[in-house]
Amino acid sequence: MSREKSPDYARIPSMTVLLDAAARDARLRAMPRGPLTDALRQAVDDYRARLRTRDEEGDITAAAILDAAARILDAHHARRLTPVINATGVILHTGLGRSVLAPSAVERLARVAAGYCNLELNLSDAKRSRRGAFAENLICRLTGAQAAMIVNNNAAATLLALRGLAAGREVLVSRGQLIEIGGSYRLPDVMQAGGAILREVGTTNKTHLRDYENAITERTAMIMHVHTSNYRVVGFSESPGVRELASLAHAHGLVMFDDLGSGALLNDDLWRAANEPTVVESLHAGADFVAFSGDKLLGGPQAGILLGNRETIERLREDPMARALRIDKLTIAALEATLELYDDHARARQEIPTLAALSESIDSLTARAESLATSLRQAMPGESFIVAQDESFAGGGSLPAWPLPTAVIRWKPLAFSVDEIARRLRQGDPAVLLRIREDTCLIDLRTVPSESLPALIDALRSAAQCP
Ligand SMILES: *Cc1c(COP(=O)(O)O)cnc(C)c1O
pLDDT bin (cut points 50, 70, 90) of residue 229 is low
pLDDT bin (cut points 50, 70, 90) of residue 406 is very high
- CB-ligand 1 contact for 259 (6 Å cutoff): yes
CA pair distance 452, 432, nearest whole angstrom? 11
- CB-ligand 1 contact for 304 (6 Å cutoff): yes
Task: Please spell the DSSP secondary structure of 66-109, one letter per residue.
Answer: HHHHHHHHHHHHTTS---EEEES-BSS-GGGTSPPPPHHHHHHH
Given a contact cutoff of 8 angstroms between Cβ atoms, the answer to whether 196 and 221 are in contact is yes
Q: Between 459 and 233, whose confidence is greater?
A: 459
426-458 pLDDT per residue, tens: 989 899 999 999 899 999 999 999 999 999 999
Mean pLDDT, rounded, of the chain? 92
pLDDT bin (cut points 50, 70, 90) of residue 9 is confident
- CB-ligand 1 contact for 93 (6 Å cutoff): no
What pLDDT is stored for residue 233 in this prediction? 47
Question: How open is the CA angle 236-241-242, to the nearest 5 degrees?
Answer: 160
- CB-ligand 1 contact for 185 (6 Å cutoff): yes
DSSP 32: -
What pLDDT is stored for residue 51 in this prediction? 84
152-191 pLDDT per residue, tens: 999 999 999 999 999 999 999 999 888 766 567 889 999 9
Largest CA distance in the chain: 88
- Among protein residues, the one with the nearest Cα to ligand 1's atom 15 is 261
- Ligand 1 pocket test, pick from 160, 224, 229 with the greatest ligand atom count within 8 Å of Cβ, gives 229
- Phi (first) and psi of residue 212, to 5 degrees: -65, -50
Task: State the pairing for strand pair 385-392/404-411.
Answer: antiparallel
Give the domains, in start order, of the chain with CATH numbers. 9-77 (no CATH), 84-96+357-464 (3.90.1150.180), 103-351 (3.40.640.10)
- Among protein residues, the one with the nearest Cα to ligand 1's atom 14 is 261
Nearest to 322 by CA among 191, 442, 185, 149: 149
Q: For a pLDDT cut of 70, what percent of the chain falls above it?
A: 94
What pLDDT is stored for residue 1 in this prediction? 44
pLDDT at residue 236 greater than cutoff 60: no
Question: SS3 helix, strand, coil % of the chain, rounded to 5?
Answer: 45, 20, 35
- CB-ligand 1 contact for 177 (6 Å cutoff): no
- Among protein residues, the one with the nearest Cα to ligand 1's atom 6 is 154
299-325 pLDDT per residue, tens: 999 999 999 999 999 999 999 999 999
CA pair distance 208, 247, nearest whole angstrom? 14
13-25 pLDDT per residue, tens: 999 999 999 999 9
Q: Between 462 and 203, whose confidence is greater?
A: 462
What pLDDT is stored for residue 396 in this prediction? 57
pTM beyond cutoff 0.95: no
Q: Report helix, strand or coil for 29.
A: coil
Nearest to 248 by CA among 218, 219, 216: 216
Q: Report helix, strand or coil for 463.
A: helix
**Of 181-185, 266-270, 328-332, which gets the smallest average pLDDT?**
181-185
- Among protein residues, the one with the nearest Cα to ligand 1's atom 11 is 261
Atom of ligand 1 nearest to the CA of 293: 7
- CB-ligand 1 contact for 202 (6 Å cutoff): no
Q: Between 5 and 328, whose confidence is greater?
A: 328
**Of 25-29, 41-45, 237-241, 412-416, which gets the smallest average pLDDT?**
237-241
For range 144-156, the mean pLDDT: 97
Question: How open is the CA angle 22-26-28, to the nearest 5 degrees?
Answer: 45
Q: With 0-12 CB in 10 A as exposed, 13-18 as middle and 19+ as buried, what is 183?
A: exposed
- Ligand 1 pocket test, pick from 154, 177, 335 with the greatest ligand atom count within 8 Å of Cβ, gives 154
What pLDDT is stored for residue 2 in this prediction? 47
